[in-house]
Amino acid sequence: MTSADWDEVKRLAADFQKAQLSSALQKLSERNCVEIIMKLTEQKLLDVIFTNDGKEYVTPQHLSKEIKDELYIHGGRINLTELANILNVDLAQISKIAAEIDKHEKGVRIVLGQLIDKSYISRVAEEINDKLGQNGFISIADLTLHYDLPAEFLQSLIEKELGKTIIGKQDTQDPRIFYNQGYISRNEAKIRGALSAITKPTPISAILGQCSVPERIFFAILENLQGKQQVPGIVTGKQSINNIYVPTIYSKSQSDWVDNFYKQNGYLEYDALTRLGISDPKNFIKRHFPNESLMNLETVAVGSALIDQVDANIDEVAATESYTDIYPLLPSVFSPRDVERVLKESLSKIKSSIHIFATTVVVSEAYLETLYKKFEPLAERKAKEAVDSGEWLQSVVESKLKSKSVDISDAKVDRKAERRKKAASGKAGGGSQGRETKTKSTKKKYQQGKNHDFDSDDDQVSSAQGKNDLNLVTMQDIKNELSTDENLADIDELVDELSNHFHPLLNKHVAEVAELLLQKNKALNLNEIDEKLNALITNIRVFDKGIKCLEKNAQGSMVKYLLKTLATDFTNEIFKLAAHQNVIQCTPNLTTESRLKMLQDLPKDVKEPLMNLHKSIMESSLDEFLNCIDPAMAACCLVLKKYDKKKERSIIVGHREALLEQLNTSQDPALVLHLTCAILFIAATQNALHMSGRHVSTIMSFLYPYLEQSACSVLSKYHVKEEVRMQLEGSLQEIKTIAVEHKKQIKAEKCNDS
C-alpha cells in the first residue's frame, strides 16, 4: 500500500469518525458500516478478521497478541481448537496465525494441534527429572500416555535435556528407556548377589523372576558385571531369557566329573554329558581334550586305551585261529554301529584275514575253514542222496530248460533285428542272376553202438549245473549242526549269520560232489538199465510164448494186457533214459500224453525209433512192439541181447516159485484163485503166463482138460461162489493143496512148444 493510499484510508477513517459523532441525520447505519468494511476488505485496502458471529472484527496483529496472551495464561500449552472457542474466531484463522507465530517466534512450537512454548517444555523436563528420581527409570511410552505428546517430541526433549535438567542415562539396548544411577546400582546389586548364590545351571527367566529385575536392563547390567569380572559364571547362547546361566563352580565340578570318568573308563557317553547340562557334547569333548586322539562315534567318544584293548583281542583271535565276541569287552552304552566302527578301525590295522559276524563277533579265517570241514560229510551225504534219487539230475534239466527258453527268446529278437536290417539294406546275391543261396543247418548225430552217458553233452550239463539253484543243504541243517556248540549258540544271531555264510559255500560243494558222483555212476547206471530192459524183454517173450498156448480168440485180450503192463514199463524206462541222455524234462510217472510231449524235444535220430515203439503199444501189436525194440534201444546206446532159450526154463521156474511164495502168504480169495490158475497153467503147459483177474475164467476153461474131475469141481465151485466171502475163505487151504500137488493131478500130456 502506497503512502497516498494510506493517507486516503486515514482521511476516510476521520470522515467515518466525524460522521459517527455528528447528529443522527449524519450517522451511518450498522449495516452500512459492515458493507463498507467488507468492500474495503475485498479491495484489500483493509486487513481484518471477523469473529464467528460477524459483529466484531480484529486485525491479525491484535489476534496474534491475544493468542500469545492466552498461551501465557494457560501455562505455555494450549489447544488451537480451545483458542478458537475462547477468541470466537474461526479455527482456520487461528491455525494460520499460530503457524506464523511458530515460524517467527523462537521457543514456540505447534505439536499435535497444540501451541507450546519453551516455558512449558522446561517445566516438562523438570517433571520428567522428578519422575526419574522417584521411580529410577522412565520410558517414552509411559510419558506419551501421561503428557499426550508424540513419542518423537518427548524423545528429542529428553535427549536434549539429558545431563542438564534431566539427570540420568539412556539404555544402550533400548533408547526409549532412561535410568538414573541409583536405579542401576540397586539392580546391579540384586543381580550380583543372585548370580553369586547360584550353584547349578539356572534359566535366566527364573533369575529375573526371583530378583524382580526388568529383562530390559538385565543383560546390560550382566555385561557390565562380566566386564568387571564380578560374575562367577557364564550365560549360554545369545541374550535371551530362555538361556541358561552356568556358575563357575558347576562348570568346575562338571569338568572334574568328565576328567575322572574318562580316566576310569576310557570313553565318554554323549547322553551322560547332556544330562550334566552340556548342550553340545561333541564340541565340548573336542575343546576339553585338545591333545587326546578320541574317536567320535554315534553315541560315545572312545579313547585310545579302549581301542588298544580291542586290537589286542583281535590279535589274539588271529594268533589262536579262534573267535571272540567283542561286545562284552565294550561298555553297554555302545550302540551296534559304534561297535561296528570300532571293529573296522581295528581290523584296518591287522594283516590277518578276520571276519565280523553278528556285528560284534570277530572270527578268524582259519576257524571258518575248520567249521567248513565239519560240514563236508553232510554235504557229501546230501549230494549222494540227490544223485541216487534223481533229484539232482532233474534240477539240471530244469535249469537247462530255463536257459533254453531265454536263449530262444534272445534268438527271436536277433532274428527280428536281422530281418529289419535286411529289409533296410536289401538282399545280396551271387552269380550273374543275383539269386540267393541257402545253406542247410546240420545237427550232431548220435552214434549207435558207442557208449554214452546219461548226459551226452557234458558242456551242456556243466552250464546247466552252474545255473542250478537247488539247495540240498538247508539253512536249518547248518543251524542244527552249529547249535551243538553251546559257545556258538549262546551268542545272539551268530548261528544265523554263520549259516548264511556257509549256506552258498556248502551248496556249491554239494554241486561239485554231485557232479563227480554223477560221472562215476553214469556207466554203472547205464549197465543197470540195460540189464533191466533186457530182462523185461525176456519176460515179455516168455509170456508171449505162454499166450500162444491159448486159443486164438483168447489171445487178443492177453496180448493187450501184456502190452499195457510190461511193454508199457519197458517203453517208459527207455523214454526216461532218452530224456536223461538229451537233458530234457521228464516226469516220474509217464503217460501217453507226456511221452508224446517228450518226443517233440528229442533229436530226430532218437525220436523216430521211440515214436514207432510208442505207436506199437497204442496199436496193441505185440509183434510190432518186439520189432521196434532193437532200434529203440540202439537209439539210446543200448544193445538188445539175443534171446537165449536155455534160460527160458530157469525163468519159468523162478516165476513159479515167486507165485507159490505169494500164494502161501495171501488171504485174499480172489488173489488166491488168480495165483492158483497161473501156477496150474505153468504145470499144464510148462510156460508162464502174465494175466489179470479178468482172465481167470478163460484160464480155468483152458485148464479143465488138464485137471482131475475133483480139482475142476473145487475150482469151479470156488470161482462161482467167490462172492461169498466166508465160503471162499474155508476153501483156501484146499485150493492151496491143489496148487502144491499139481503134478499128481495132471493127467494130460505137456503142450508142445509153439
pLDDT reported for residue 721: 73
Query: Does residue 753 register a pLDDT over 50?
Result: no
Give the pLDDT band (50/70/90) at residue 405.
low
Question: What distances in angstroms separate CA 456 from CA 398, 435, 445, 603, 743, one per listed residue?
Answer: 16, 40, 11, 12, 53
CB 735 within 8 A of CB 714: yes
How many angstroms separate the CA atoms of 528 and 534, rounded? 10
> Burial level of 607, CB count in 10 A (0-12/13-18/19+)?
middle
Give the pLDDT band (50/70/90) at residue 451.
very low
Query: Does residue 658 register a pLDDT over 60?
Result: yes
Any idea what the Cα angle at residue 616 is, between residues 613 and 620, rounded to 5°?
A: 150
Report pLDDT digits (tens) over 458-472. 433 343 344 445 677
Report pLDDT digits (tens) over 507-527. 888 888 877 776 666 554 677
Residues 6+ apart with CB under 8 A from 647: 538
Edge to edge, the sheet with strand 169-170 lists: 137-139, 177-179, 169-170
DSSP annotation of 690 = -
> Burial level of 679, CB count in 10 A (0-12/13-18/19+)?
buried
- Which residue in 654, 717, 720 sits closest to 688, CA to CA? 654
pLDDT reported for residue 28: 60
Which of 200-204, 245-249, 292-296, 463-467 shows the lowest per-residue confidence on average (mean pLDDT)? 463-467
Give the pLDDT band (50/70/90) at residue 446.
very low
Which backbone phi and psi does 477 adopt, to 5 degrees?
A: -60, -45
pLDDT reported for residue 752: 45
> Burial level of 25, CB count in 10 A (0-12/13-18/19+)?
exposed
Report pLDDT digits (tens) over 278-300. 878 888 888 888 888 788 888 88
Number of H helices, E strands in the chain: 34, 17
Report pLDDT digits (tens) over 56-113. 777 788 888 888 888 888 888 888 888 888 887 888 888 888 888 888 888 788 888 8
pLDDT reported for residue 532: 86
Mean pLDDT, the chain, whole residue set: 76
pLDDT reported for residue 6: 75
How many angstroms separate the CA atoms of 582 and 393, rounded? 12
